[in-house]
Amino acid sequence: MIVRGAPLIGVTAAYGLAIALDMNASDAALEAAVADLAATRPTAVNLRWALDRVARVVRPLGRSARADAAFQEADAIADEDVAASRAIGRHGAALLRELASARPAGEPLRVMTHCNAGWLATVDWGTALAPIYTLQAEGAAVHVWASETRPRNQGLLTEWELRQQGIPVTLVADNACGLLIARSEVDVVLVGSDRTVANGDVCNKIGTYLKALAAREHGVPFVVALPSSTLDLSIASGDAIPIEERAATELTSVPDIRVHNPAFDVTPARFVTKLVTERGVHDAEQGALARAFPELVR
Amino acid sequence: MIVRGAPLIGVTAAYGLAIALDMNASDAALEAAVADLAATRPTAVNLRWALDRVARVVRPLGRSARADAAFQEADAIADEDVAASRAIGRHGAALLRELASARPAGEPLRVMTHCNAGWLATVDWGTALAPIYTLQAEGAAVHVWASETRPRNQGLLTEWELRQQGIPVTLVADNACGLLIARSEVDVVLVGSDRTVANGDVCNKIGTYLKALAAREHGVPFVVALPSSTLDLSIASGDAIPIEERAATELTSVPDIRVHNPAFDVTPARFVTKLVTERGVHDAEQGALARAFPELVR
């Protein structure tokens, strides 16, 4: 958890593999490093995707060329992540601009987010927060509700990140999000994703689904921003996504308390108003992502 | 927050007024004590109800008789609270028994609760937890999901209380409740209430509404247990219930973070499968509570 955020996990794994190859570039060391790194986190598919991509490049090469090639590929992944974030910012901002135009004059667009999907979770810009930064650069007024995101409190990262950017932000308990949405204090819920699958089901930080339920109940758009590195078109629906179980100590330090601590949940596609990727805005429906990213369909 | 839980707040306020009258039983002191105590918490109606009840008894009396009469009335309120909790346990257990009969043989009934509505929140037994204690006394197997209940973590009180009673309990983050309900790991959601109004809308600890949304989506019964001291039939719908805003420090000790910290939310009656009071099991619909408690209709 020193590195967190699906895109950053992918990029860091790519560099990790390059560093491993710099120490030992044998076939056995390569496969062991891939396996070790892949086993660190089960849910965010970016990890597996980045490792596969670097491994595919270096496997055909001789030992002496592998580390350099791996660093080059990791650099490319990092650069592409920045470009994807900027493009998501541009496409997502178009959506937000439309919602902002329905607000009373002088009133900010009120965005609710969950966890942290900004530049702290990517190489730069972010996914869910990128459209907000784009909008801010245009001079539009935005206010963000950052939910605490128990048990690891990544909402405090979002609060900090947005405050550094000069964007008004209010921290709330995850539990408060239903009331806020019910009382018409939210214009859009905007989150990232750790894995989005073929039918548009979205796996993201635990608690995302509860926000989606409230958003749908009250007619508030629920938008997911994700780079294609987060797509897993090999899985038909969200039920098949492995959900990481994390330590009980994230909730309590009392040893004899029994804890269940799943780190992610799945929001079915029917709750998702729009998916935003680096290629544009998509409906969350079977086939839409495959049409937008045909090269990712195996 | 040294005293918490709607029923216990009411009983404690009654004794508080008796203690105040023991020190000074003048008309002015009486009305000042009622006003001071009533101003401590805005949402749980038990506070106002208990103060009104004691004040109504002592106002016609001479000064010298007031303190004793107040203590007597406070004792009565405390005794009635225990009786109401036991009756709620009995009526609620009938509901739970029916749900338990649908479970595979040997499998426990899986109850999800929120906040703490057990004997730590009442004089004895509790509201939401009373039916669980009744069921346990009959030898039935129950497992409880206790949600953390940020920002004050009363879920840890529930975990502790149930563990003292020997009831299997697992602590989860509030955020995990959507996933648990979606994955069919919950047979019933059972919570208390801080104020329930004429149309059956239920005000309870912040985050309750999110559980109700998930329960309805997945066909899981959502049951609210409450003594009549928690009823406010003078209010037509939940929108009119004042929601207490609590200190930012409950979420973070960083001073320059902007925080919104509402302590309660409202679950509309249409999400409530059944209301359990000391008089039985009621539908959460306009008029049902007034019919069950005609003496509370002004």
Burial class (CB in 10 A: 0-12, 13-18, 19+), B292: middle
Q: Is A155 on the interface with B (CB under 8 A)?
A: no
In chain B, % of residues over pLDDT 70: 100
Q: pTM of this prediction?
A: 0.96
d(Cα B114, Cα A164) in Å, to the nearest integer?
35
User: From the CA of A292, how many Å to the nearest CA of chain B?
Assistant: 29
Classified as helix, coil or strand, B284 is: coil
pLDDT in tens, B13-28: 999 999 999 999 999 9
Which residues, including other chains, have CB under 8 Å from residue A133's CB and lie 6 or more apart? A89, A118, A125, A126, A165, A167
pLDDT in tens, A212-229: 999 999 999 999 999 999
Q: Which residues of A touch B151 (CB under 8 A)?
A: 148, 173, 175
d(Cα B115, Cα B206) in Å, to the nearest integer?
9
d(Cα A54, Cα A10) in Å, to the nearest integer?
11
Decide: A195 and A266 in contact? Cβ < 8 Å. no
CB count in 10 Å sphere of residue B23? 9
Q: What is the DSSP string of B131-182?
A: HHHHHHHTT--EEEEEE--TTTTTHHHHHHHHHHTT--EEEE-GGGHHHHHH
Sheet of strand A195-197, all strands in order from the earlier edge strand to the far edge: A231-232, A195-197, A202-205, A264-267
d(Cα B221, Cα B77) in Å, to the nearest integer?
31
| A residues 228-257 closer than 8 Å to B (CB) | 243, 251-252, 256-257
Given an 8 Å threshold on Cβ–Cβ distance, is B258 in contact with A170? Answer: yes
Classified as helix, coil or strand, B6 is: helix
Q: How far, CA to CA in Å, does B4 sit from each of B85, B113, B152, B159, B251?
A: 16, 17, 11, 16, 18
pLDDT in tens, A18-59: 999 999 999 999 999 999 999 999 998 999 999 999 999 999
Given an 8 Å threshold on Cβ–Cβ distance, is B210 in contact with A214? Answer: yes
Decide: B203 and B261 in contact? Cβ < 8 Å. no
Decide: B82 and B123 in contact? Cβ < 8 Å. yes
Assess whether B194 carries a catalytic annotation: yes
Given an 8 Å threshold on Cβ–Cβ distance, is A150 in contact with B149? Answer: no
The pLDDT assigned to B1 comes to: 86
Q: Is B148 on the interface with A (CB under 8 A)?
A: yes
d(Cα A283, Cα B211) in Å, to the nearest integer?
27
Sheet of strand A109-114, all strands in order from the earlier edge strand to the far edge: A169-172, A142-147, A109-114, A188-191, A222-225, A274-277, A280-282
Q: Which residues of B touch A178 (CB under 8 A)?
A: 207, 209-210, 213, 265
Q: Give bridge partners of residue B266 from the DSSP assignment.
A: B203
Q: Is B218 on the interface with A (CB under 8 A)?
A: no
Residue of B163, B209, B258 lying closest to A182 (CB–CB): B209
Top residue of A152, A175, A186, A260 to mutate, by most chain B CBs within 10 Å, is: A175
The pLDDT assigned to A298 comes to: 79
Measured distance between the N- and C-terminal CA atoms of chain A, rounded to whole angstroms: 31
Q: Which residues of B touch A205 (CB under 8 A)?
A: 175
- Nearest CA among B156, B151, B179 for reference residue A153: B151
Structural tokens at position B154: 């009363």
ipTM score of the complex?
Answer: 0.96
d(Cα B73, Cα B76) in Å, to the nearest integer?
5
| Annotated active-site residue in B81, B174, B187, B194 | B194
Given an 8 Å threshold on Cβ–Cβ distance, is B173 in contact with A159? Answer: no
Residue of A148, A159, A258 lying closest to B169 (CB–CB): A258
d(Cα A69, Cα A76) in Å, to the nearest integer?
10
Structural tokens at position B128: 């939401």
Q: Which residues of B touch A148 (CB under 8 A)?
A: 150-151, 251
Structural tokens at position A66: 């592998």
Walk along chain A (298 residues) and give the pLDDT tens digit of each residue: 899 999 999 999 999 999 999 999 999 999 999 999 999 999 989 999 999 999 999 999 999 999 999 999 999 999 999 999 999 999 999 999 999 999 999 999 999 999 999 999 999 999 999 999 999 999 999 999 999 999 999 999 999 999 999 999 999 999 999 999 999 999 999 999 999 999 999 999 999 999 999 999 999 999 999 999 999 999 999 999 999 999 999 999 998 999 999 999 999 999 999 999 999 999 999 999 999 999 999 7
3-class secondary structure per residue, B30-70: HHHHHHHHHCCCCCCCHHHHHHHHHHHHHCCCCHHHHHHHH
